[in-house]
Amino acid sequence: MTSESQNLQHVSQNKTFGGWLKQYTHASETLNCTMRFSIFLPSVATAEHPVPAVYWLSGLTCTDENFSQKAGAFRVAESLGISLIMPDTSPRGDDVADDDNYDLGQGAGFYLNATQPPWNTHYRMYDYVVQELPGLIESHFPVSDVKSIAGHSMGGHGALTIGLKHPEQYRSISAFSPITHPMMCPWGQKAFAAYLGNDKETWRQYDACELLKQGKAALPMLVDQGDADNFLNEQLKPELLKAAAEQHDSPLELRMQSGYDHSYYFIASFIDDHLHFHAGYLLTDRH
């Protein structure tokens, strides 16, 4: 038994639509703390038949439970035979650096690798999502290495940047209300300055618009954005993502949804579309 499996602790489970939603904690070597994640396993998932997965990255202030409790994704995930992997949004613990504001520190990891103290001791969510968590999942659950990535708000930023930088690992990318250009919005500027320092050249690697300006995206992208979102103009800026994608004819479908806000009511309204979108790439052989 590996140290990883010894550290994997089962917290809870619930049967839903024939599959199982399970929650675990484990000692993360990447983040130097105990991390929690949730996983949905459809009923067809067995050791002999591992299933593909969608990794879901949540937004500011969220945990692994926001998506599992509010998105209404399990009926379709079960029908498609797809696993859902839901990590927490940041390292947590009494000895983990934090901030009094909601948009920095615990609950606000921004899916990057911090280089500045005190954040660099724990805040390495980029490596956690790209390397440690998939390794853990694929080693201990009937889940294959065929995967896509999705997220909301800060997590939409994470899904876009991670998927764009690792097309060899993922089949497709989707996002709800993503922070598309963090270098050019208050949330991103505050987090990047704290986590990465004042050299803005180091920020570009975690900015979806900047990545798209460098060349054509290798993966298909679906983005939904509500036009009644309170954060639309100041923080999210989907028009800049569209413009950046158009520079090299990147495969982006941006859908502006009339009347929808930033909440999980919005996500629940369109999550079926996103899962079917990913299934089109996860359940077919890569060309």
- Of the pLDDT bands very low, low, confident and very high (cuts 50, 70, 90), residue 7 is confident
CA distance 191 to 115: 12
Q: Which residue has the higher pLDDT, 4 or 17?
A: 17
Segments in 171-221 forming alpha helices (H): 186-196, 208-213
The structural domains of the chain, with segments of one domain joined by +, span 8-283
Q: Which of 58, 90, 148, 153 is catalytic?
A: 153
pTM of the model: 0.96
Predicted local distance difference test score (pLDDT) of residue 6: 47
Strand partners, 57: 151
2 has a pLDDT exceeding 50: no
CA distance 127 to 123: 9
The full length of the chain comes to: 287
The neighbour count for residue 83, using CB atoms within 10 Å, is: 26
DSSP string, 115-168: -STTGGGT-BHHHIIIIIHHHHHHHHSSEEEEEEEEEETHHHHHHHHHHHH-TT
E-state strands within 209-276: 221-226, 252-257
Residue in the block written with tokens 């996500």: 267
Q: How far is CA 280 from CA 41, 79, 216, 222, in A?
A: 19, 14, 21, 12
Spell out a b/e string for 250-277, using b for 16 or more CB atoms within 10 Å of the CB, else e. Answer: bebebeebeebbbbbebbebbbbebbeb
Residue whose C-alpha is closest to residue 113's, from 26, 214, 32: 32
E-state strands within the chain: 9-16, 19-28, 33-41, 51-57, 83-87, 143-152, 170-176, 221-226, 252-257
Predicted local distance difference test score (pLDDT) of residue 116: 98
Predicted local distance difference test score (pLDDT) of residue 286: 52
First-last CA distance in the chain? 37
Predicted local distance difference test score (pLDDT) of residue 3: 46
153 belongs to the catalytic site: yes
207 belongs to the catalytic site: no
The neighbour count for residue 120, using CB atoms within 10 Å, is: 14
Fold of 8-283: Rossmann fold (3.40.50)
- Of the pLDDT bands very low, low, confident and very high (cuts 50, 70, 90), residue 284 is confident
Q: Which of 26, 152, 157, 262 is catalytic?
A: 262
CA 103 to chain centre: 17
Q: What is the pLDDT of residues 220-266, one digit of tens each?
A: 999 999 999 999 999 999 999 999 999 999 999 999 999 999 999 99
Q: Which residue has the higher pLDDT, 3 or 21?
A: 21
Q: Which residues contact 52 (CB under 8 A, 6 or more apart)?
A: 82, 83, 143, 144, 146, 147, 148, 171, 282, 283
Predicted local distance difference test score (pLDDT) of residue 205: 97
90 belongs to the catalytic site: no
Predicted local distance difference test score (pLDDT) of residue 218: 96
Q: What is the pLDDT of residues 148-205, one digit of tens each?
A: 999 999 999 999 999 999 999 999 999 999 999 999 999 999 999 999 999 999 999 9
Q: What is the pLDDT of residues 35-83, one digit of tens each?
A: 999 999 999 999 999 999 999 999 999 999 999 999 999 999 999 999 9
Q: Which of 229, 250, 274, 278 is catalytic?
A: 229
Strand partners, 223: 175, 254
Q: Which residues contact 187 (CB under 8 A, 6 or more apart)?
A: 60, 103, 154, 179, 235
